[in-house]
């Protein structure tokens, strides 16, 4: 389910995204790949904890967080499921292979400051200022030429797109196989 707000020129948009738990894997794959098809820079404004599917806002080009933000993958390994849905791709890619695997295998919780120290978040703000800063950055970006925005974004996401195309289905299959061992 998405809720979007569009302001100013048509290429300026901000979206609040909610992913329902237990989403059908095909829909999850489409969501993750469609987010990569957005042809302008994407700004994430994280205003609170991201316990599940934190990989979605963390794949944005600019990531802002409130000082109350925290990150954890509570949906997968810690709940008896193989990390998938892009978590197995995105977190090791963003955090480094060993650190990303540690995060996924231990259920580690990262504070906003820890996420910033690891390079996952660009800026930490008070909760009431995160969305305003995101709009300020979006408005600044709209002053740039359309093709500059489009081709920069396409260049930024191509590596992620290739990794997702190669490994997203594999993670979903591994989760399904692991669930066969534990039908509960």
For residues 127 and 112, the answer to whether their CB atoms sit within 8 Å is: no
Q: Which residues pair with 111 in a beta bridge?
A: 70
Task: Give the H/E segment covering residue 70.
Answer: strand 70-71
Q: Out of 27, 39, 55, 114, pick the active-site residue.
A: 55
Q: Is 175 a catalytic residue?
A: no
Q: What is the CA radius of gyration of the chain?
A: 17
Q: Which long-range contacts (CB under 8 A, 24 or more apart) does 49-52 make?
A: 51/75, 52/19, 52/21
Question: Residue 158, Cβ neighbours under 10 Å: how many?
Answer: 11
Contact 14, 5 (CB under 8 A): yes
Tell me the C-alpha distance between 4 and 44, whole Å: 13
Q: CB count, 10 Å around CB of 148?
A: 10
Provide the annotated active-site residues.
55
């Amino acid at each position: 389910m998405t809720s979007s707000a569009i302001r100013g020129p048509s290429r300026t948009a901000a979206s609040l995204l909610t992913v329902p738990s237990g989403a059908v894997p095909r829909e999850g794959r489409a969501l993750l790949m469609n987010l990569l098809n957005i042809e302008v820079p994407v700004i994430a404004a994280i205003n609170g904890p991201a316990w599940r599917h934190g990989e979605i806002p963390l794949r944005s080009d600019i990531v802002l967080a409130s000082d109350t933000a925290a990150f954890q993958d509570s949906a997968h390994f810690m709940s008896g499921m193989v990390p998938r849905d892009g978590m197995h791709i995105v977190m090791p890619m963003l955090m480094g292979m060993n650190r990303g695997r540690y995060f996924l295998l231990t259920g580690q919780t990262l504070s906003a400051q820890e996420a910033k120290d690891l390079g996952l978040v660009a800026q930490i703000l008070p909760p009431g200022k995160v969305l305003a800063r995101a709009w300020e950055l979006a408005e600044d970006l709209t002053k740039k030429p359309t093709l500059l925005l489009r081709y920069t974004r396409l260049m930024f996401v191509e590596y992620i797109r290739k990794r997702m195309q190669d490994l997203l289905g594999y993670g979903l299959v591994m989760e399904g196989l692991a669930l066969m061992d534990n039908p509960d």
